[in-house]
Amino acid sequence: MKIGLRIFLGYFLIVALAAFLLMRVFVAEVKPGVRQAMEDTLVDTANVLAELATADFLDGHINDGEFARRVRALRERRVDAEIWGRRKHGTSYRVYVTDARGIVVFDSDGRDLGKDYSRWNDVYLTLRGGYGARSTPSDPKDETSSVMHVAAPLHDASGRIVGVLTVGKPNRAIAPVIARSQAVVLRWGLALLGAALLIGLVAAWWLSRQLGGLRRYAHAVTAGERATLPKAAGEFDELGRALETMRDRLEGKQYVEQYVHTLTHEMKSPLAAIRGSAELLEESGEHAMAEADRTRFATSIRLQSDRLAQMIDKLLALAGVEHRQRLESPEALDVPTLVRSAAEQCAMRLARSHLVLDVDMPRDLPPLRGDAFLLRQALVNLVENAADFSPEGGHVTLRARSDAAAIRFDVIDEGPGIPDYAMPRVFERFYSLARPQGGSRSSGLGLCFVAEVATLHGGQAMLANRHPQGAQASLSIPL
């Protein structure tokens, strides 16, 4: 399982558990909270009504006096109130009064007049000077039929409790308020949970992206590929830079060791030829060689020295390209100017072999972004390589074409072509084929340099045979 998914699942578990517990607490507290608010209101209502009913109760007219008439009229009163989006049309109070024995002497509903309520908590506790309240279902089979009752004492002139007034209100009257509050809490809870999960998803994606970029970079470096340090932030940026520094130091050490070993191996053959020729030239007396032989061995020393110098120059150029991970400052290049510059640089080399360079390119080639020196040197290497295999007096063609995606440079010669066995290795470092007409082998670094330049520009180098003869080397650079 990827680390981003593990982080997200862990975050999701924590957030989901916290949200579940929080919503359970909120939802569980909504119902008792609303009922507590209603009970507080009923306490005030009961005490106000108790004060209003005391005079009729003491006069013996609690069931037929002014108080009774007003309370019964309340049931017919039309209410038109909108409370937080909920329409209320009437009152839902029930008011009853009991005497000092707990017998009902007034009932706004008129159904329990004369009954003994002395055992109900609201009456029982209030007659004894306590706070009387109860919540009792009007229908034992229906849990939603509960009614909250809150009582207030009736006092005579001496302050003695002579009766109890109870106000009752069905709990289902506040059920819509509770349901609405629970729905709001649940809705916002789910919204916050969704937002938290979205934040967690973004955070996990970001962390996974940062780590994934560094992981791919490490794999590319391990595989010996060119890799650009991915953009990162914070500690990931520091980690990436530390990895790049470590890579540079390790690669530099390995690069030097590899090149010293390779250069030493490749220099053995020309140095052996130079040493052998020098020893023969040093002979004197009766063993002294003829002037023609001296000239031949001196020429061999010069050619091998030139080969060593060329090998070192190209090896340094190749090392400079191979060690670069990216183009530091690519610039817009005019392709016709680039091609003409490469052609001018090859003019002397082509003239020595009596070769003609044909340049073929349209005038409307789009500009190309890259390194002018590297691209020009790559084209020079391709033209010189074609010249090595072309017959004296022949033609070498340098062609440039463009499409929507890339510009392609083709160098075509009239030589014998590339043997099938050599085709997979032509871009290898130090791999070289014998030249026609007995020419010496090259350093084997030119095509390798071209391939590295192509890769550095995000392009590709190719080599293929043409029919009936000749070869075509191509350098494709994306636009």
Structural domain tally of the chain?
3
Retrieve residue 394's tokens: 């022949």
Q: Which residues pair with 412 in a beta bridge?
A: 397, 472
Question: What is the rounded CA–CA span in Å between residue 462 and residue 471?
Answer: 11
Residue with tokens 């409370």: 83
Q: Is the pLDDT of residue 59 over 70?
A: yes
**31 occurs within a structural domain:** yes
Sign of the alpha-carbon dihedral angle for 446, 448, 449, 453: positive
Mean per-residue pLDDT of the chain: 80
Does residue 8 fall inside a structural domain? Answer: yes
Co-location of 274 and 338 in the same domain = no
Domain boundary among the residues 326, 358, 376 is at 326
Whether the model pTM is above 0.75 = no
Q: Does 91 lie in the same domain as 52?
A: yes
Q: Are 215 and 230 in contact (CB under 8 A)?
A: no
Give domain status of residue 382, yes or no: yes
The pLDDT assigned to 69 comes to 93
Domain of residue 268 covers 253-326
- Chain-centroid distance, C-alpha 362: 44
User: Is 358 found in the same domain as 295?
Assistant: no
Do you know the residue count of the chain?
Answer: 479
Q: What is the pLDDT of residues 175-187, one digit of tens each?
A: 777 777 777 777 8
Cα angle vertex 380, ends 263, 430, to 5°?
25
* pLDDT given for residue 449 in this prediction: 78
Q: Mark which of 287, 310, 326 sits at the end of a domain.
A: 326
Same domain membership, residue 461 and residue 342: yes
Encode pLDDT of 293-344 as tens digits: 777 777 767 766 765 666 566 556 555 555 555 666 788 889 888 889 888 8
Is pLDDT above 90 for 423?
no
On whether the CB atoms of residues 122 and 134 are closer than 8 A, the answer is: yes
Do residues 368 and 468 both lie within one domain?
Answer: yes
The predicted-structure confidence for 5-32, as pLDDT tens digits, reads as follows 667 677 777 777 777 776 676 666 767 7
pLDDT in tens, 225-280: 666 667 777 777 777 777 777 666 655 555 455 555 555 655 665 666 677 777 76
Q: Is residue 286 part of a domain?
A: yes
Under the banding of pLDDT at 50, 70 and 90, the label for residue 125 is very high
Query: Measured between alpha carbons, how far is 18 from 25 in angstroms, rounded to an integer?
Result: 11
Are 297 and 276 contained in the same domain?
Answer: yes
What's the rounded mean pLDDT across residues 390-403? 89
Range with lowest mean pLDDT among 224-228, 389-393, 396-400, 418-422: 224-228
| pLDDT on residue 127 | 95
